[in-house]
């Protein structure tokens, strides 16, 4: 009991430096607290930024959804266009040539999609980086958890030990061994504190590093968002050019429709003309046939005429012969008449010579003479008639001969005419057949042309619909571009906040380094104390009751340690869940990588298709028949557009999920920071108490070391030889100082 | 001549070169169709030759030649008028035709006009007109003047001497 005032004196000497160190440590701890709270604040800002980013991602998602829906609609319309163009294709085979034209058009789009794919790949790589970093961070967090648990347990055990020590010191005011033992425990605890502080520092370093990595990751995310935005802008431009192409196609299709209508009209007139020609030809053929029949009839009539002419010529010749016979008979009659006249004259002469006797005879002779004169006159008339008849018969025979000759000639002419007519009829039959073919072909052509008109009209209509939906697509793409711009801004803000977080983390690191230094100093002092305490231990060996108390205190300490272990296990579980979350992130990243790969493949396909589309748009001025194939290829491209948009949608959803996980990690970081803050506060709270305890204890210890040790030596020299060794140690410790 | 006066009202008509002549019927012996004329040497130009008729050889005078017309070939109507000339001589006259036996009243026959003097006037006894027909009545004695006929065979001076 007499040693106490000396102890107090010793406290003043040795405790002055320790007090200053404790003060400095407390201020550092407070600084750590402030820095941790600023980290919490910044983490809150980061969280808010992540929320905003998620909202903008939602907007982008909704925009991309709209675009996908519109693309689907476009695809549907384009499919119906394709259906209508199939008809056109069946009519117009030439359309096949324009496939390559549209292929060239889509090349530029393919390039842009390829750029999108490369940027998506970069995004995937960065997300992988983020995943690995997150895993590292998880490990670090686990380590932090462990170390913090250790820190907590040690701190608590220190507190409890110190409490129990204080209790035992107050209980056994004279039990210096116990106190010494307690000091040894304090020294151990101090060294544990130092190591825990170092571990804390390293853990904070790791946390800072992980925060920096998060910052770098955020930067790469920002650049990925930037590239995504650029790619989306390019896609928007390409969609606008597609819209322009769609308008041009609409114009071309409309022109083709009018051309097809004109073609249909001309084909109808051609068909009508062909039909008229067919009818005329048939009529001509009928008339030619009638003419052939009449020519045949006339040939037959000519033959009959010839026969009858020959007969009449024969009859005429016969009649001439008979007329000659009649003429001879008439001559004979004439002779007879002349002779009768002569005889009557002679009779008259005789009668006149006979005088009155011959008067009657004279009368008879005169009558006879009159009769003979009349018969002579009649025969003269007959002779004249016969002569005329003979002339007529001669002429008739000549005419009959002429008629016969002419009939022969006519017959020959008619037969050659009939042969020519036969030939002409054969030609006419061929002409009729050909004209019939032409008429049929013209009819079919007209039907086909009408089908073409219908199909081309449908194509024009569908092309207009496609142009309209493409314009809507362009509008949607513009809104997406705007949302992407907002996303870019948000990402930049997040990057800024993370940078601030990094700065704060660096401050924390600096503060924790100072803490570590101070802890090292404390450890040194504590080890000195320990060495002193060892001496004290020898001196306090005798104080068994204090040891028992200390044993009880240790038991209590064990209980406390178990509790601490439990809390550490809980912490570990939390960390495990974080790690799981990170693993999920990693899996999601792998999925992202896969979808990015497929997106690149789809992008390449889309690139090719869009290249083709681009070429098609450049050569839209080519014939309207090409439109159908262009439409088909546009359908194809639109489908791929849809697929690509779906992929972009998936990727964006993944990005959103990552952002949400980031937010979750940030919130967990916040929780951890709060824990750290709490612990730092506990440290701060414990430090002054411990330093008070330590101060008294240390002072006590130091005093004991300094003086009571000497007393103990003197007192215990008689009791135990072991104490003498500790007394030597204490003096060597003194010498060391 | 007196006989001629009594029977002067009956005549035979015949035509030569389109003109109708008349001879008194009692001067006509008979008529026949001319068949074959046998030409005789040194005959006058108006004598064609001789024919054999009813047992007699008679000379044939061609009246066309006698009247100074051209000769024509014989036809069915050509007649040989056999007349009994003065002194019982029978002569055949060739006329183009002779088919009528008519009775002419004496007042119908007028003497030839003075303007028809000369040779024609010597051969004509008169001119008769029956209806619209003009008939020249021949002076057969002068036509058949034997002297002239003989002169045809002999010198024509005898004919001039008998005239």
DSSP B9-60: TEEEEEEETTEEEEEEGGGEEEEEE---PBP-TT--TTEEEEEEETTEEEEE
DSSP per-residue codes, A412-461: HHHHHHHHHHHHHHHHHHHHHHHHHHHHHHHHHHHHHHHHHHHHHHHHHH
CA-based nearest distance A405→chain B, Å: 42
* A334–chain B Cβ distance below 8 A for any pair: yes
Tens digit of pLDDT for each residue in B17-37?
A: 999 999 988 889 999 998 889
Tens digit of pLDDT for each residue in B92-132?
A: 999 999 999 998 888 888 888 777 656 566 788 889 988 88
CA atoms within 13 A on the CB side of B15: 11
What's residue A92's pLDDT?
47
CA distance A564 to A199: 17
What's residue A664's pLDDT?
75
* A234–chain B Cβ distance below 8 A for any pair: no
- Whether residue A626 has pLDDT greater than 70: no
Is the Cβ–Cβ distance between A463 and A250 less than 8 Å? yes
What's residue B93's pLDDT?
94
Output A276 or B156, whichever has higher pLDDT.
A276
Question: Is B28 within 8 Å of A334 when comparing Cβ atoms?
Answer: no
Q: What percent of chain A has a predicted confidence (pLDDT) above 90? A: 1
Question: Is B77 within 8 Å of A338 when comparing Cβ atoms?
Answer: yes
What's residue A599's pLDDT?
44
Q: Which helix (H) or strand (E) holds A469?
A: helix A359-540
Report the range out of A198-207, A432-441, A584-593, A726-735 with the highest average pLDDT. A432-441
Report the range out of A68-77, A189-198, A313-322, A451-460 with the highest average pLDDT. A313-322
Question: Is A349 within 8 Å of B101 when comparing Cβ atoms?
Answer: yes
Range scoring the smallest mean pLDDT among A62-71, A358-367, A487-496: A62-71
- Whether residue A323 has pLDDT greater than 80: yes
CA-based nearest distance A338→chain B, Å: 7
Confidence of residue A167 (pLDDT cuts 50, 70, 90): low
Nearest neighbour of A349 by CB, restricted to B30, B77, B99: B30
Residue of B nearest to A345 (CA): B101
Question: Is B79 within 8 Å of A342 when comparing Cβ atoms?
Answer: yes
CA-based nearest distance A332→chain B, Å: 11
CA-based nearest distance A394→chain B, Å: 26
What's residue B13's pLDDT?
94
Question: Is B25 within 8 Å of A352 when comparing Cβ atoms?
Answer: yes
Output A209 or A454, whichever has higher pLDDT.
A454
Residue of B nearest to A347 (CA): B30
CA distance A208 to A199: 14
Confidence of residue A446 (pLDDT cuts 50, 70, 90): confident
Is the Cβ–Cβ distance between B137 and B125 less than 8 Å? yes
Question: Is B77 within 8 Å of A369 when comparing Cβ atoms?
Answer: no
Question: Is A366 within 8 Å of B12 when comparing Cβ atoms?
Answer: no
DSSP per-residue codes, A574-641: HHHHHHHHHHHHHHHHHHHHHHHHHHHHHHHHHHHHHHHHHHHHHTTTS-THHHHHHHHHHHHHHHHH
Confidence of residue A130 (pLDDT cuts 50, 70, 90): very low
Tens digit of pLDDT for each residue in A370-400?
A: 988 888 888 888 888 888 888 888 888 888 7
* A398–chain B Cβ distance below 8 A for any pair: no
- Whether residue B159 has pLDDT greater than 90: no
Cβ-Cβ contacts under 8 Å for A102 (sequence gap 6 or more): A612, A613, A614, A615, A616, A617, A629, A630, A633, A634, A637
Q: What percent of chain A has a predicted confidence (pLDDT) above 70? A: 53
Encoded tokens for A720: 């135990």
* A343–chain B Cβ distance below 8 A for any pair: no
Residues in A 670-689 with any Cβ partner in B closer than 8 A = none
CA distance A209 to A505: 8
Among the listed residues A727, A579, A589, A566, the one whose alpha carbon sits nearest the alpha carbon of residue A654? A589
Nearest neighbour of A348 by CB, restricted to B76, B77, B101: B101
What's residue B95's pLDDT?
95
- What does the pLDDT average to over A547-566? 49
Among the listed residues A382, A381, A306, A372, the one whose alpha carbon sits nearest the alpha carbon of residue A345? A372
Q: What percent of chain B has a predicted confidence (pLDDT) above 70? A: 80
Q: Which residues of A touch B26 (CB under 8 A)?
A: 352-353
CA distance A249 to A621: 9
Nearest neighbour of A352 by CB, restricted to B7, B76, B99: B7
Is the Cβ–Cβ distance between A662 and A217 less than 8 Å? no
Encoded tokens for A609: 């298709």
Query: CA triplet A681, A685, A687: central angle to 5 degrees?
Result: 115
Range scoring the smallest mean pLDDT among A111-115, A304-308, A452-456: A111-115
Tens digit of pLDDT for each residue in A285-322?
A: 787 778 778 777 877 877 887 788 788 888 888 888 88
Encoded tokens for A431: 């002409």
Output A414 or A632, whichever has higher pLDDT.
A414
**Residue located via tokens 């304090």:** A186
Question: Is B101 within 8 Å of A366 when comparing Cβ atoms?
Answer: yes
**β-pair partners for B51:** B58
CA-based nearest distance B31→chain A, Å: 6
* A352–chain B Cβ distance below 8 A for any pair: yes
- Whether residue A71 has pLDDT greater than 90: no
CA distance A399 to A317: 12
pTM: 0.37
For an interface test with B, give the residue of A340, A349, A356, A361 to mutate (most B CBs within 10 A). Answer: A349
Question: Is B99 within 8 Å of A341 when comparing Cβ atoms?
Answer: yes
Is the Cβ–Cβ distance between A248 and A617 less than 8 Å? yes
CA distance A283 to A289: 10
- DSSP collapsed to 3 states, A504-565: HHHHHHHHHHHHHHHHHHHHHHHHHHHHHHHHHHHHHCCCHHHHHHHHHHHHHHHHHHHHHH
Q: Is the Cα torsion angle A278, A284, A288, A290 positive or negative in sign?
A: positive
For an interface test with B, give the residue of A342, A362, A366 to mutate (most B CBs within 10 A). Answer: A342
Confidence of residue B83 (pLDDT cuts 50, 70, 90): very high
What's residue B26's pLDDT?
86
Nearest neighbour of B76 by CB, restricted to A338, A366, A369: A338
Mean per-residue pLDDT of chain A: 66
Confidence of residue B74 (pLDDT cuts 50, 70, 90): very high
Q: Which residues of B touch A342 (CB under 8 A)?
A: 31-33, 79
- Whether residue A700 has pLDDT greater than 60: no
Q: Which residues of A touch B101 (CB under 8 A)?
A: 344-345, 348-349, 352, 365-366, 369
Size of interface A-B (CB pairs under 8 A): 40
Is the Cβ–Cβ distance between A643 and A93 less than 8 Å? no
Tens digit of pLDDT for each residue in A559-600?
A: 544 554 455 455 455 545 544 554 554 455 455 445 445 544
CA-based nearest distance A320→chain B, Å: 24
Is the Cβ–Cβ distance between A514 and A197 less than 8 Å? no
Encoded tokens for A246: 């769609």
Residue of B nearest to A353 (CA): B26
CA-based nearest distance B79→chain A, Å: 9
Residue of A nearest to B98 (CA): A342
What's residue B21's pLDDT?
93
Cβ-Cβ contacts under 8 Å for A160 (sequence gap 6 or more): A553, A556, A557, A560
- What does the pLDDT average to over A194-209? 67
ipTM greater than 0.95? no
What's residue B39's pLDDT?
93
Is the Cβ–Cβ distance between A54 and A658 less than 8 Å? no
Strands (E), A189-345: none
- Whether residue A730 has pLDDT greater than 70: no
CA distance A713 to A177: 13
Neighbours of A286 (CB within 10 A): 12
Q: Which residues of A touch B97 (CB under 8 A)?
A: none
Q: Which residues of A touch B98 (CB under 8 A)?
A: 345
**DSSP three-state, residue A140:** helix
What's residue B32's pLDDT?
92
- Whether residue A357 has pLDDT greater than 60: yes
Q: Which residues of B touch A348 (CB under 8 A)?
A: 25, 101
- What does the pLDDT average to over A87-97? 49
């Amino acid at each position: 009991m007499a040693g106490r005032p000396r102890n107090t004196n010793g406290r003043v000497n040795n405790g002055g430096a320790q007090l200053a160190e404790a003060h400095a440590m407390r201020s550092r701890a407070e600084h750590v607290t402030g820095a941790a709270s600023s980290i919490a604040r910044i983490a809150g800002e980061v969280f808010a930024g992540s929320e905003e980013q998620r909202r903008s991602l939602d907007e982008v998602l909704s925009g991309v959804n709209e675009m996908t829906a519109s693309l689907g609609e476009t695809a549907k319309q384009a499919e119906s266009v394709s259906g209508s163009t199939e008809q056109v294709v069946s009519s117009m085979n030439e359309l096949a040539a324009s496939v390559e034209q549209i292929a060239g058009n889509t090349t530029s789009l393919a390039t842009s999609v390829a750029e999108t794919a490369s940027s998506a790949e970069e995004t995937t790589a960065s997300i992988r980086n983020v995943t690995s970093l997150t895993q590292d961070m998880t490990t670090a967090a686990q380590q932090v958890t462990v170390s913090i648990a250790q820190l907590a347990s040690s701190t608590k055990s220190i507190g409890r030990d110190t409490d129990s020590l204080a209790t035992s010191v107050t209980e056994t005011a004279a039990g210096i061994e116990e106190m010494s033992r307690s000091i040894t425990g304090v020294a151990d605890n101090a060294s544990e504190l130092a190591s825990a502080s170092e571990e804390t520092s390293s853990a904070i370093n790791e946390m800072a590093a992980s925060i920096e990595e998060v910052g770098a990751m955020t930067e790469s995310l920002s650049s990925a968002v930037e590239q995504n935005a650029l790619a989306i802008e390019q896609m928007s431009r390409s969609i606008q050019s597609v819209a322009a192409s769609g308008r041009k196609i609409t114009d071309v299709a409309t022109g083709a429709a009018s051309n097809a209508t004109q073609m249909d009209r001309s084909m109808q007139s051609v068909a009508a003309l062909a039909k008229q020609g067919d009818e005329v030809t048939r009529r001509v053929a009928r008339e030619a046939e009638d003419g052939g029949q009449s020519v045949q009839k006339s040939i037959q009539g000519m033959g009959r005429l010839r026969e009858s002419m020959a007969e009449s010529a024969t009859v005429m010749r016969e009649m001439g012969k008979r007329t000659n016979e009649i003429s001879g008979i008439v001559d004979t009659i004439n002779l007879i008449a002349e002779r009768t006249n002569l005889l009557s004259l002679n009779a008259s002469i005789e009668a006149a010579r006979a005088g009155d006797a011959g008067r009657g005879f004279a009368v008879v002779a005169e009558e006879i003479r009159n009769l003979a004169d009349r018969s002579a006159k009649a025969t003269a008339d007959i002779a004249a008639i016969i002569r005329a008849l003979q002339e007529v018969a001669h002429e008739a025979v000549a005419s009959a001969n002429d008629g016969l000759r002419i009939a022969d000639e006519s017959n020959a002419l008619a037969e050659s005419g009939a042969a020519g007519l036969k030939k002409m009829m054969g030609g006419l039959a061929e002409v009729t057949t050909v004209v019939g073919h032409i008429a049929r072909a013209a009819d079919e052509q007209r039907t086909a042309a009408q089908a073409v008109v219908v199909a081309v009209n449908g194509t024009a209509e569908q092309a207009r619909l496609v142009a309209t939906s493409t314009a809507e697509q362009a509008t949607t793409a513009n809104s997406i571009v705007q949302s992407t711009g907002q996303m870019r801004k948000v990402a930049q803000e997040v990057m800024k906040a993370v940078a601030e977080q990094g700065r704060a983390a660096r401050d924390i690191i600096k503060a924790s380094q100072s803490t570590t230094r101070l802890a090292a100093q404390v450890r040194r002092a504590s080890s000195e104390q320990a060495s002193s305490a060892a001496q004290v231990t020898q001196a306090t060996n005798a104080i068994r009751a204090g040891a028992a108390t200390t044993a009880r205190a240790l038991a209590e300490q064990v209980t406390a340690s178990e509790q601490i272990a439990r809390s550490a296990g809980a912490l570990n579980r939390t960390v495990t869940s974080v790690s799981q979350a990170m693993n999920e992130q990693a899996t999601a990243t792998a999925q992202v990588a896969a979808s990015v790969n497929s997106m690149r493949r789809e992008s390449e396909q889309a690139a090719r298709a869009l290249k083709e589309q681009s070429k098609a748009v450049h050569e839209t001025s080519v014939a309207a028949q090409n439109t159908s194939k262009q439409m088909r290829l546009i359908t194809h491209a639109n489908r791929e557009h849809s697929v690509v948009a779906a992929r972009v949608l998936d990727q964006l959803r993944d990005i959103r999920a990552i952002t949400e996980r980031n937010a979750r990690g940030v919130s967990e970081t916040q929780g951890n920071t709060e824990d750290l803050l709490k612990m730092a506060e506990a440290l701060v709270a414990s430090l002054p108490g411990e330093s008070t305890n330590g101060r008294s204890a240390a002072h006590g210890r130091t005093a004991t070391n300094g003086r009571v040790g000497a007393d103990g030596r003197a007192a215990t020299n008689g009791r135990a030889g072991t104490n003498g060794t500790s007394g030597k140690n204490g003096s060597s410790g003194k010498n060391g100082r | 001549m007196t006989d001629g006066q009594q029977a002067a009202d009956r005549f035979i008509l015949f035509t030569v070169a389109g003109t109708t002549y008349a001879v008194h019927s009692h001067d006509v012996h008979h008529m026949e169709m001319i068949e074959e004329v046998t030409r005789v040497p040194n005959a006058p130009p108006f004598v064609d030759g001789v024919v054999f008729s009813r047992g007699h050889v008679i000379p044939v005078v061609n009246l066309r030649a006698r009247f100074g017309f051209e000769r024509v070939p014989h036809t069915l109507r050509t007649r040989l008028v056999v007349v009994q000339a003065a002194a019982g001589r029978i002569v055949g006259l060739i006329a183009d035709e002779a088919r009528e036996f008519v009775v002419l009243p004496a007042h119908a026959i007028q003497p030839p006009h003075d303007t028809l003097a000369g040779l024609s006037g010597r051969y004509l006894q008169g001119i008769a007109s029956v209806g619209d027909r003009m008939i020249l009545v021949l002076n057969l004695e002068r036509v058949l003047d034997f002297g002239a006929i003989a002169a045809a065979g002999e010198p024509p001076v005898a004919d001039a001497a008998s005239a």
